[in-house]
Amino acid sequence: MSNRPVALVTGANGEIGRSLIERLHADGRYRIVTLDLSPLPERYRPLCDETYAGNILDRYLLDQLAAHHEIEAVFHLAALLSTRGERDPELAHQINVEGTLHLLRMAQTLSARLDRSVKFIFPSSIAVYGIPTLAEKRALGRVREPQGLEPITMYGVNKLYAEHLGRYFMRHYRALSANTERTARLDFRGIRFPGLISAETVPTGGTSDYGPEMLHAAAQSKPYACFVGPEAQIPFMAMPDAVAALMGLLDAPRESLTLPSYNVGAFSLSAAEFATRVKNAFPGAEITFAPDAARARIVDSWPEDVDDTAARTDWNWAPQYGIDRAFDEYLVPSIRARYQK
């Protein structure tokens, strides 16, 4: 089966990356090649054809990757998240923008060389939205893709710009060159994820992290002080749905896609409701609220929910994990089992 095409996964060692590798391996269509700053844990290596430890800012390394592998799909997951990005905004820009530019350039060069469109799957985020006040947030409710795009974090600014870059590479790259009409272009597909919750890993450096942190702390009988107030509300999604969304968008016929980047929703709840669900599952859980003003402000600037009608219409997106199923059938049992081992 060595003639199977290659899917490149950057940021493979992150939360989404690890779940995606398992899903791509089970799917079997692709040979998996990964790139991450840190080496992939032993458990995931047998699922991959090659695993590279390296920096997405290393253009020489990306050239090598493109020379050695006929990459048909890129899942560009590597990023610095929103809290980490506020601690080092220039580094966030380098990784989230320059790194993405390098990957886009690589995918575009490959598309031209192989004369077929390399698919470029890009996880964007609800962080692209920035709603000035809580009153406006409430009034807006479920936000649609063109609304409220004034992000207040470097990460959100970077993701929004990267969506534009992807659209540019796909539709307008080098519009003045004589032979662009005849050159295959990359096929950019973006998804704006809500806060993601995995039963396998605890996220690092994000601002939606209070959700998963609360759950993982409770399962280990550790007290947890939540860094946003009880009223704070954003949409969340269980990791299996996030991976299903990436695969669904990958498989969508190009002609059905009308947006460069799509909202995908699953459920939305306040931090207080999150805490109640965690306490119901883990009755001993000690959860307190100790808001950090700056991080709480970021969460307040994100929409309380997303309108994902476009994804539902264009590529049949439908989440499998609503709020009850996410907690009762995925998060709680898997996290409990994880810490009982």
Give the Cα separation of 314 and 255 in Å (integer): 9
Number of residues that bind ligand SER (CB under 6 A): 10
| Residue 104 near residue 56 (C-beta atoms within 8 A) | no
Nearest distance in Å: CB 152, ligand SER: 12
Q: Which of 34, 111, 158, 208 is the binder for ligand SER (CB under 6 A)?
A: 208
For ligand SER, the closer of residues 72 and 213 by Cβ is 213
Sequence-ordered list of residues with C-beta below 8 angstroms from that of 277, at least 6 positions apart, any chain: 269, 323, 327
Q: Which of 71, 127, 217, 331 is the binder for ligand SER (CB under 6 A)?
A: 127
Q: Which of 10, 82, 96, 158 is the binder for ligand SER (CB under 6 A)?
A: 82
Nearest distance in Å: CB 193, ligand SER: 6
Indicate whether 30 belongs to the interface with ligand SER (CB under 6 A). Answer: no
- Give, as ranges, the residues between 136 and 195 that touch ligand SER (CB under 6 A): 155, 193, 195
Which whole-number Å values give the CA distances from 126 to 5, 76, 160, in the listed order?
Answer: 31, 17, 10
For ligand SER, the closer of residues 84 and 189 by Cβ is 84
- DSSP annotation string for 254-282: GGG---SEEE---EEEEHHHHHHHHHHHS
The region, left, alpha or beta by phi > 0 then psi within -120 to 50, assigned to residue 11 is left
Helix (H, G, I), strand (E, B) or coil at 316: coil
Nearest distance in Å: CB 108, ligand SER: 25
Nearest distance in Å: CB 83, ligand SER: 6
For ligand SER, the closer of residues 127 and 243 by Cβ is 127
Task: Count the neighbouring beta carbons within 10 Å of the beta carbon of residue 62.
Answer: 24
For ligand SER, the closer of residues 72 and 86 by Cβ is 86
Stretch that binds ligand SER, among 43-51, 206-214, 319-327, 331-339 (CB under 6 A): 206-214
| Residue 253 near residue 191 (C-beta atoms within 8 A) | no
Indicate whether 10 belongs to the interface with ligand SER (CB under 6 A). Answer: no
For ligand SER, the closer of residues 176 and 293 by Cβ is 293
Indicate whether 233 belongs to the interface with ligand SER (CB under 6 A). Answer: no
Indicate whether 125 belongs to the interface with ligand SER (CB under 6 A). Answer: yes
User: Angle, nearest 10°, between helix axes 59-68 and 99-114?
Assistant: 30
Indicate whether 301 belongs to the interface with ligand SER (CB under 6 A). Answer: no
What residues are paired with 143 via a beta bridge?
306
For ligand SER, the closer of residues 15 and 72 by Cβ is 15
Indicate whether 198 belongs to the interface with ligand SER (CB under 6 A). Answer: no
Give the Cα separation of 243 and 18 in Å (integer): 10
Indicate whether 260 belongs to the interface with ligand SER (CB under 6 A). Answer: no
Q: Which of 66, 71, 81, 264 is the binder for ligand SER (CB under 6 A)?
A: 81
Q: Which of 99, 130, 148, 206 is the binder for ligand SER (CB under 6 A)?
A: 206
Give the Cα separation of 262 and 124 in Å (integer): 9
Q: Identity (one letter) of the amino acid at 196?
A: L
| Residue 22 near residue 47 (C-beta atoms within 8 A) | yes
Give the Cα separation of 289 and 73 in Å (integer): 43
The region, left, alpha or beta by phi > 0 then psi within -120 to 50, assigned to residue 71 is beta
Binding site for ligand SER (CB under 6 A): 81-82, 125, 127, 155, 193, 195, 206-208
